[in-house]
């Protein structure tokens, strides 16, 4: 589980690092970024996980997310994994589409050939990388929270709903709330998990809630000018599921905001404050 430092840069008094390691989950080299704020010697800090969207790597949020000022103020470690395995021999979408394969792991452990060997992002993000972060950084693993954007919002919601005791706060930006009901999700879950929709339900936030998963509360920001709002994101489905389940959802429809990092960067500090309140 050796980890190699790709780069570190001082920022907002802390250290923004990029690291790579050989992943046993994916069978590939994986790159991720971690921001560690300035802290007292020996202190352990809460950890916020940020899962990125389609086409992204760790770099998008690291460069454009504008999270470091708030993390420094609040004393939060911020971890940003990649969105899929990459490298020679890793199968991609047969047509090279952006919404499946490379950059589009959908935070599942694939069961279908030829993806099952490498596309194990669920295990990577929920088991292997947390163990590495716990070993290598001043992380208090009893205080974790999770957020993400779009496909990564889907990942944050499904992982948060699956491990409500591990994550003290769960939020999302423009998440795919019901992949089983929209084209991006239907394509990905078919490709990674096969045609049996029963196997999809634990990777679908709305289905998880319908099947009994619960959270103490949930924060979601969604831009009203998001091109993917009606076709792929459908926050009203999450609203209905949370309403039926009694999950207090704060769904903020942000007027005029789109699907880009201009939207995320505007509200990410808000989310971090909300996480910090719940991380204690």
Binding site for a second copy (CB under 8 A): 9-13, 16, 63-64, 66, 68-69, 223, 225, 256-258, 260-263, 265-266, 269
**Closest to 49 in 3D by CA, of 213, 204, 159:** 159
Strand partners, 78: 35, 48
Least distance in Å: CB of 87 to a second copy?
Answer: 26
- Identify whether 259 is a catalytic site residue: yes
Find the catalytic residue in 25, 33, 150, 171: 150
Nearer Cβ to a second copy, position 98 or 262? 262
Q: What are phi and psi of 163, to 5 degrees?
A: -125, 65
Nearer Cβ to a second copy, position 14 or 155? 14
- Identify whether 38 is a catalytic site residue: no
| DSSP 8-state secondary structure symbol assigned to residue 43 | -
Least distance in Å: CB of 272 to a second copy?
Answer: 13
Find the catalytic residue in 82, 109, 204, 226: 226
Least distance in Å: CB of 184 to a second copy?
Answer: 22
Find the catalytic residue in 58, 149, 203, 259: 259
How far, in Å, CA of 113 to CA of 111, rounded? Answer: 7
Nearer Cβ to a second copy, position 22 or 253? 253
**Closest to 200 in 3D by CA, of 64, 74, 107:** 107
Cβ-Cβ contacts under 8 Å for 119 (sequence gap 6 or more): 26, 84, 85, 105, 108, 109, 110, 192
Q: Is the Cβ–Cβ distance between 110 and 92 less than 8 Å?
A: no
Nearer Cβ to a second copy, position 128 or 226? 226
Q: What are phi and psi of 33, to 5 degrees?
A: -120, 150
Least distance in Å: CB of 221 to a second copy?
Answer: 13
User: Annotated catalytic sites, by residue?
Assistant: 150, 226, 259
């Amino acid at each position: 589980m050796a980890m190699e430092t790709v780069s570190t840069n001082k920022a907002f008094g802390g250290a923004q690092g990029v690291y790579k390691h050989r992943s046993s989950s994916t069978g590939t080299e994986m790159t991720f970024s971690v921001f560690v704020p300035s802290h007292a010697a020996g202190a352990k800090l809460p950890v916020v996980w940020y899962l990125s969207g389609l086409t992204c790597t760790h770099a998008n949020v690291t460069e454009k997310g504008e999270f470091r000022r708030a993390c420094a103020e609040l004393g939060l470690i911020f971890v940003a994994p990649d969105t899929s395995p990459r490298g020679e021999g890793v199968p991609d979408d047969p047509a090279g589409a952006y919404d499946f394969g490379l950059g589009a792991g959908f935070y599942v452990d694939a069961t279908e050939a030829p993806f099952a060997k490498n596309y194990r992002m669920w295990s990577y993000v929920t088991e292997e990388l947390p163990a590495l972060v716990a070993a290598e950084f001043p992380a208090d693993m009893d205080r974790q929270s999770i957020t993400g954007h779009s496909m990564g919002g889907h990942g944050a919601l499904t992982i948060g709903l699956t491990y409500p005791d591990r994550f003290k706060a769960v939020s999302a930006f423009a998440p795919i709330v019901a992949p089983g009901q929209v084209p991006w999700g239907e394509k990905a879950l078919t490709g990674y998990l096969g045609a049996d929709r029963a196997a999809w339900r634990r990777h679908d936030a709305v289905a998880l809630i319908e099947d009994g998963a619960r959270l103490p509360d949930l924060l979601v920001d969604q831009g009203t000018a998001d091109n993917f709002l009606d076709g792929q994101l459908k926050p009203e489905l999450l609203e209905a599921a949370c309403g039926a389940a009694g999950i207090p959802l704060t769904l903020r429809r942000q007027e005029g905001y789109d699907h880009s990092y201009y939207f995320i960067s505007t509200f990410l500090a808000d989310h971090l404050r909300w996480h910090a309140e719940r991380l204690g």
